[in-house]
Amino acid sequence: MPDDQTLRFATQAIHAGAAPDPATGARVQPIYFTNGFVFDSTEQAADIFAMRRTGFSYSRGSNPTVAALERRIAALEGAKAAVAVASGQSAVMLVLMTLMRSGESYVASPRLFGGSLGLMRRLDGRYDLQPQFAKGLAPEDFEAAITPRTRAIVCESIVNPCATVMDIEGIAAVARRHGLPLVIDNTLASPALIRPIEHGADIVVHSTSKFLGGSGQTIGGIICDAGRFDWNRPDRYNLINEPWPDYEGLVVRERFPDMPFAVACRLFGLRDLGPGLSPMNAFLTLTGIETLPLRMERHCANARAVAAYLKDHPKVDWVSYPGLPGQPGEALVKRYVPQGPGSIFTFALKGGEPAAIKFIMGLDLISHLVNIGEIKSLAIHPASTTHRQLRPEERAAACVGPETVRLSIGLESVEDLIADIEQALAKLD
């Protein structure tokens, strides 16, 4: 097999990280449903436990099916290594908890997925990991929020729910100037649309529950380590720089210089905290990824057509989809996502919140549910659901008002989607 990193994207999506099974010749990645793996000797067992050699021991920390998914997504993102976890939410949590200890801070985009904002508030209140929200979305706004206690910068590549495309290179330049790792949540783009590491990101996270899995069947998350950030700062990143007494003084940065952040996430995040991904979910996600490049093309084309239809409709007040000509953020779309800014976006009706609710209830084909990025088209009212737990000012910063409707456009024939939207709009006064 050629080296995964030299293959082109669509080939990687099908082949990277998984070869025919050496034991049986099975062409599809087998699902290894086993908690434990038999050791050859007590020495081997001790070596694996001490991290002196790699190998499978217990599926909470690593499993062959999950490892195939990790290798595939690492190849797609151009990362050195990846760690799969139980959900996108645990991916974001483990990144923050691995990077920082109590009393340290990170600069975060004010415009983030509601679940991430809620998590950040809780980690602040209970564990004193302090988010410093930028005042705006420009690189200067991120820079202005940095203090001596800042340990990372966190943002999304394309923002859930309003499809804003972030200036990743501008923010990466700020991060580099201040010696901080840049963490990008790439869920809404998927590596088919944006590979943040190519634009300067150091850590990439995903909810694989969305485009990567693609069919809305399984919850999962992943953390990718670009492997090039210089962690060598004695006063910070202690899981990477300081000896682990319970691993005979292991210093992660010295033993694993190519992928120290991924190793720290696995040791602390999976061995200690424990939110591992099931091999079954890894298998389903791998299967989904095989068609990712094709699906993303159609997701983008359908979303553009639906957004254009809505923009011209007399009952529609505004559409937030920067993939349309003349929309704010058009330049960033051209620069980072020429294929289009994904298929999740928001819009509002002139009739405000009552019309938004009536519209969602009037849809037949498009499902009223809270996932995104799956092959079926979906609609939700974020202010009363996904963004409900936020304070009004946080909701406003995240671009969610009472009048906002979020759509996730799927792969159906676009004429049927527009017909469904048309009949739901016709029911409004």
Ligand X SMILES: *Cc1c(COP(=O)(O)O)cnc(C)c1O
Query: Nearer to ligand X by C-beta: 209 or 343?
Result: 209
CA-based end-to-end distance of the chain: 61
CB of 79 to ligand X, least distance (A): 17
Q: How far is the CB of 263 from ligand X (least distance, A)?
A: 23
Please state, in angstroms and rounded to a whole number, the distance separating the CA atoms of residues 400 and 355. Answer: 15
Asked if 89 touches ligand X (CB under 6 A), the answer is yes
Nearer to ligand X, 239 or 277 (CB): 277
User: According to the binding rule CB under 6 A, does residue 185 interact with ligand X?
Assistant: yes
Q: Does residue 345 touch ligand X according to CB under 6 A?
A: no
- In the bound state with ligand X, the residue whose beta carbon lies nearer, of 119 and 250, is 119
Residue-wise DSSP of 336-363: H-TT-S-SEEEEEETTHHHHHHHHHHH-
125-135 per-residue burial string, b: 16 or more CB within 10 A, e: under 16: eeeebbbbbbe
| Residue 183 Cβ vs ligand X, minimum distance, rounded to whole Å | 11
- Binder of ligand X out of 29, 105, 109, 187 (CB under 6 A): 187
Rg over CA atoms, the chain? 22
> 3-state class of 64 per DSSP?
helix
Q: Are strands 404-408 and 344-349 parallel, antiparallel or unpaired?
A: antiparallel
Residues 6+ apart with CB under 8 A from 376: 216, 367, 410, 412
Nearest in space to 181 (alpha carbons), one of 165, 209, 204, 164? 204
Number of residues that bind ligand X (CB under 6 A): 18
Task: For the beta carbon of residue 108, count every other beta carbon within 10 angstroms.
Answer: 24
Does 154 engage in binding with ligand X (CB under 6 A)? Answer: no
Cβ atoms of residues 306 and 422 within 8 Å: no
Q: Quick one: which segment of 28-36, 84-92, 147-155, 239-247 binds ligand X (CB under 6 A)?
A: 84-92
Nearer to ligand X, 405 or 424 (CB): 405
Q: What DSSP state is assigned to residue 314? A: T
Q: At a CB cut-off of 8 Å and minimum separation 6, what does 138 contact?
A: 167, 170
Contact between 139 and ligand X per CB under 6 A:
no
Q: Name which of residues 262 to 321 contact ligand X (CB under 6 A).
A: none
Give the nearest distance from C-beta 73 to ligand X in angstroms.
14
Give the nearer residue to ligand X in terms of CB position, either 270 or 424.
Answer: 270
Please tell me whether residue 207 binds ligand X under the rule CB under 6 A. Answer: yes
Contacting range for ligand X; rule: CB under 6 A; set: 35-43, 51-59, 112-120, 292-300: 112-120
Q: Does 404 bind ligand X (CB under 6 A)?
A: no
| CA separation for the pair 370, 19 (Å, rounded) | 35
Q: Residue 261, interface with ligand X (CB under 6 A)?
A: no
Binding ligand X by CB under 6 A: which of 32, 106, 113, 283? 113
Q: Which residue is nearest to ligand X (CB)?
A: 88
Go through the chain and tell me how many residues it has. Answer: 429
117 Cβ neighbours under 8 A, 6+ residues apart? 390, 394, 398
Stretch touching ligand X by CB under 6 A, among 70-78, 85-93, 94-102, 313-321: 85-93
143 binds ligand X (CB under 6 A): no
Q: Which residues bind ligand X (CB under 6 A)?
A: 87-89, 92, 113, 115-116, 156, 160, 185, 187-188, 207, 209-210, 219, 221, 372
